[in-house]
Structure 1
Amino acid sequence: MNAPLIGFAGKARSGKDAAAQALLDAGWTRRAFADNVRAMLYAMNPVLDDSSYRDGFTSLKYEVDTYGWEEVKEVFPEVRVYLQRLGTEGGRDNLGEDVWVDALFRDFESWGPTVITDVRFPNEADAIRARGGLVVAIERPDLTTVGEPGHVSENALAGYLFDDVIRNDGSLAQLHDRVMQLIPLAV
């Protein structure tokens, strides 16, 4: 029998990581299809335009090491675009749509309870279900679009039939309460 597995889908900044925090606090592990995409971009270490520096430039590694990925994606919107393009046009389109699925699940048999925070494509959702997991959409009604809003990674799950939908329209505590109600369904 597999350990509990839940995947969160939703637009950028819908609250997927905030929802996952409830499970992390309960001892679950966080994983993401984009973990390997971030590792690749970090290894490439692109130069970022930053007029606040004397020479006007900084490096991705420096910024990520100093501030973390989430802050870097907010301050340097091009980083989110780089991740979208590397993951989709670079990985999926050139190496096959399951490149990130295969990379993430290669050691699945050893996993404990796990939440995947970035389900963006039907094959990713299907891979979670094939392993006995749930796929849950996080919807945030007051969401401001970031990155490339028309990018396929933001829209590929339109019309997908999720196992559940959580509306992120209240407090963080309310979001966490809604997430915790999923655990019995995932076991």
Structure 2
Amino acid sequence: MIIGLSGYAGSGKDTVGKIIQWQKTRSDIALSSFELLSKQEQSYNWQIKKFAGPLRKVAAILLGMDEEFLHTDEFKQMVLPQPWNKLKVVFENDEHRNDAYSVVPMTGREFLQLLGTDAIRDGLHPNAWVNALMSEYRCLDAQKRASIGNVLDYSACKFPNWIITDMRFPNEMAAIKDRGGITIRVNRGKAINLHPSETAFDNAQFDFVIDNNGTIDDLINNVRTILNQLEYGKSTKAGTQQNGSSSTGN
């Protein structure tokens, strides 16, 4: 099963993902023990995944950097080494019109945007990053996997349990729904960054919506309510209000 999380930057998607992961492994989590969420377990029944994961793997290879470093704000804000400088065409009315071009440094954030969108998504295939991640969502039984190939036959095989914490585009939601997954919107305040990746789901319909404007205890309770409903088959269709959470779009 796949649970896809959506929300503006800073809404708490990663926190919700960690709560789901912990509660699916340790259902006895105490409301007052949020610190436990940061502790490392030997193994989890549910894995946290990101659509941006394959992008960062490719970027790490190209830049010769540690993949974990690419997740930090330090990387996003840093100026990349000189070989990655871009050449900007200069027009007649430009302040640098005496030059044929000007050299523009590239930040880590710009590198990820250009690689992820311009080079791969627009240049190669719109579903490139979705396909890259979903290529890992395979039947857990090697023999059955060989017999059914890439067919997503859930009755014939057991698939892994994933929590995808960076669902931002309709094709990403479609990939999750096509595999029998559910979607959760995490709301907290308004969007700060108006990049299309932050607003693409403003009018979308989700299986559940969490209002994350309360305490951490409230958030854990809301997540627990959703998981209980899923466990006992009591989830409702989109458009129906629920206690502590909602199955309606924003």
Asked whether the two chains share a fold, i.e. TM above 0.5, the reply is yes
**Correspondence for 1:32 among 47, 50, 58:** 50
Structure 2 stretches of 5 or more lacking a match?
A: 26-43, 80-106, 141-158, 232-250
> Paired residue for 1:61?
65
> Paired residue for 1:91?
120
Over alpha carbons, which structure has the higher Rg? 2
* More relative contact order, 1 or 2 (CA 8 Å, 6+ apart): 1
Letter of the aligned partner of 2:216 in structure 1?
Answer: L
Distance 2:117 2:136 in 1: 23
Runs of 4+ in 1 over 6 A off after TM superposition: none
1:134-149 matches, cutoff 5 A: 134-141=182-189, 145=192, 149=193
> Paired residue for 1:72?
74
> Paired residue for 1:12?
9
Structure holding more helix per residue: 1
Instruction: Assess if the C-alpha contact under 8 Å between 2:191 and 2:198 holds in 1.
Output: no
Letter of the aligned partner of 2:161 in structure 1?
Answer: P
TM-score norm. by structure 2 comes to: 0.57
> Paired residue for 1:22?
19
Structure 1 stretches of 5 or more lacking a match?
A: 46-59
Distance 1:63 1:164, change over 3 A: closer
Structure 1 residue 177: deviation in Å? Answer: 2.3
> Paired residue for 1:154?
198
Structure 1 residue 161: deviation in Å? Answer: 1.0
Distance 1:136 1:63 in 2: 27
**Correspondence for 2:136 among 107, 114, 120:** 107
Distance 2:49 2:128 in 1: 15
Equivalent residue pairs, number: 164
